[in-house]
Amino acid sequence: MIGMDEVDDTTEQSATVWAVFGDLMAGLLGAFVLVLVGMLVMQVDLVASLRQEVERRQMEEQRRMALEKALAIPLASGRVTVNEGRIGISGSVLFAPGSDELRPEGRQLLTSLVQPLRVYLRERDEMLMVSGFTDNKLLRGGNQRFTDNLELSAQRALTVTRTLIDEGMPASQVFAAAFGAEQPVASNDDDSGRAQNRRVEMAPVPKASNTKPAQHG
């Protein structure tokens, strides 16, 4: 016969097993809930990120269309391009090779850009960054005024900036930047590519508290 002690031991062992099993199931359920919550949070974050990306792309497209509309006449002339919000002008339209003196037709073109750009910038509370670029061909000759292509691109950007201001662009809305031969848009291995790299770009940018216009003296 089975004694009472043996029955008690069996009952106690069974209770212990069920207690351990209960704890295990509770742990597994808790882990499952945590994983589920984590997946839901990730899904919510992903949806929010996708929504922000869609809104950003829509805003960029609206800005591009507004800029193209503002510059419809200069764009139709073929002397100005708009690419990803950057207004491009071939260096040959503005300057003679190795020079920072503005051609007469270059000044006329810049003058035609001032009024539509003023309206565009004012409506969006933005500034205009004027950037100068060159090809990688080294400046040569004893009469060169510039130490290197970076200095040439800087002077050209300043010339364009000052011309825009002279023609009515508020000085607080425009500043100059220089990149020299950096950031080419075509190969520098042939004349055609180098001609594309000799350019001036103008890009509307958000105003920032630490953004200061270039000093013009």
pLDDT tens-place string over residues 31-56: 777 788 878 878 777 777 777 767 66
> Phi and psi (nearest 5°) for 29?
-65, -40
Q: Pairing state of beta strands 174-180 and 126-133?
A: parallel
Please give the average per-residue pLDDT across 9-36, as a whole number. 69
Structural class in CATH, domain 71-206: alpha beta
Domain ranges in the chain? 1-60, 71-206
CA distance linking residue 74 with residue 71, whole number of Å: 6
Mean pLDDT of 71-81: 83
Q: Looking at this protein, which amino acid is placed at residue 141?
A: G
Radius of gyration for the chain, computed over Cα atoms and rounded to the nearest angstrom: 33
Highest mean pLDDT among 3-12, 43-52, 188-197: 188-197
The gap from C-alpha 181 to its chain's centroid, in whole angstroms, comes to 20
Look at residue 215 in the predicted model and tell me its pLDDT: 45
